[in-house]
Amino acid sequence: MDAYGNGQRALQDRFDTRRLADRLEQVTYHEAFSDGDRQVIERAACFFLATVGDDGFPDVSYKGGVPGFVRCMSNTELQFATYDGNGQFRSLGNVLDHPQVSLLFIDFEQPGRLRIQGTAAVADDLTVTVTASRIWPNCPRYIHQLQLVQLSEHAPRPDHEPPDAEWKQYFKDVLPAR
Q: How confident is the model at residue 168 (pLDDT cuts 50, 70, 90)?
A: confident
Model confidence pLDDT, tens digit, residues 14-44 = 999 999 999 999 999 999 999 999 999 999 9
DSSP sequence for 49-85: EEEE-TTS-EEEEEEE-STTSEEE-SSSEEEE-----
Model confidence pLDDT, tens digit, residues 75-116 = 999 999 998 888 999 999 999 999 999 999 999 999 999 999
Q: Which domains does the chain have, with CATH numbers?
A: 1-29 (no CATH), 31-143 (2.30.110.10)
Identify whether the C-beta of residue 158 lies closer than 8 Å to the C-beta of residue 110: no
Dihedral sign from CA coordinates of 158, 160, 161, 166:
negative
Q: Tell how strand 128-138 and strand 112-122 pair up.
A: antiparallel
The pLDDT assigned to 1 comes to 60
pTM of the model: 0.93
